[in-house]
Structure 1
Amino acid sequence: MAVGAQNAFVLKQGLKQSHSLPIAALCSFIDAIMITAGVAGLGHLILAFPLIKDIASFGGAIFLFIYGYGALKSSFTEQKMEGEQELAADSLKKAVITTLAISFLNPHLYLDTVVLLGSISVQFEGTAKQWFGAGAVLASFVWFFSLSIGARYLSPIFQKPKAWCYLDRFICLTMWSIALALLYPYL
Structure 2
Amino acid sequence: MEMAFLQGFGLGGSLVVAVGAQNAFILKQGLKQSHPLLIAALCSCIDALMITFGVLGFGRVVVAFPVIINVARIGGALFLFTYGAHALYMSFQHSRKLSTDMKQVESIPRVLLLTLGLSLLNPSLYLDTVLLLGSISVQFQGVERVLFAVGAIMASLGWFFSLSFGTKYLSPAFNQPQAWVYLDRAICLIMWSIALILMAPYILAS
TM-score tier, shorter chain, comes to: over 0.9
Out of 18, 37, 47, the position equivalent to 1:2 is 18
Q: TM-score, normalised by structure 2?
A: 0.85
Give 1:103's aligned residue: 119
Which of 72, 92, 98 in structure 2 is aligned with 1:81?
98
Q: What is aligned with 2:5?
A: none
User: Which residue of the partner structure matches residue 161 of structure 1?
Assistant: 177
Q: CA deviation at 1:81?
A: 0.6
Give the stretch that moved more between structures: 78-87 or 27-36.
78-87
User: Are residues 1:184 and 2:190 paired?
Assistant: no
Structure 2 residue 52 is the aligned partner of structure 1 residue 36:
yes
| Alpha-carbon separation, structure 2, partners of 1:120 and 1:177 | 29
In structure 2, do the counterparts of structure 1 residues 85 and 77 end up closer, same or farther at CA, with 3 Å as the change threshold? Answer: closer
Deviation at 1:152, TM superposition (A): 0.4
Distance 1:19 1:84 in 2: 16
RMSD between aligned residues = 1.4
Cα shift at 1:84: 4.6
- Counterpart residue identity of residue 144, structure 1: F
**Alignment correspondent of 1:67:** 83
Deviations 1:47-67 (A, max 9, x none): 122222112111111111111
Pair 1:133 & 2:154 matched: no
Q: Which amino acid aligns with 1:53?
A: I
User: How many Å apart are 1:106 and its aligned residue?
Assistant: 1.5
Deviations 1:54-108 (A, max 9, x none): 12111111111111111111111122114357645x2122111111111111222
Cross-structure match for 1:117: 133
Contact 2:97 2:103 in 1 (8 A): no
Match of 2:189 in 1: 173
Q: Which residue of 2 aligns with 1:26?
A: 42
Displacement of 1:121 in angstroms is 1.2
Going from structure 1 to structure 2, the CA distance change for 1:85 and 1:92 (only over 3 Å counts) comes to farther
Among 71, 79, 83, the alignment partner of 1:55 is 71
Q: Note the C-alpha offset of 1:126.
A: 1.4
2-side partners of 1:11 and 1:85: how far apart? Answer: 17
Compared with structure 1, are the counterparts of its residues 136 and 122 closer, same or farther at alpha carbon in structure 2 (3 Å cutoff)? same
Q: Which runs of 4+ in 1 moved over 2 A?
A: 82-88
Amino acid at match of 1:50: P
Which runs of no fewer than 5 residues in structure 1 stay unpaired? none
Give the CA deviation at 1:165. 0.8
Could you list the runs of 5+ residues in structure 2 that have no partner in the other structure? 1-16
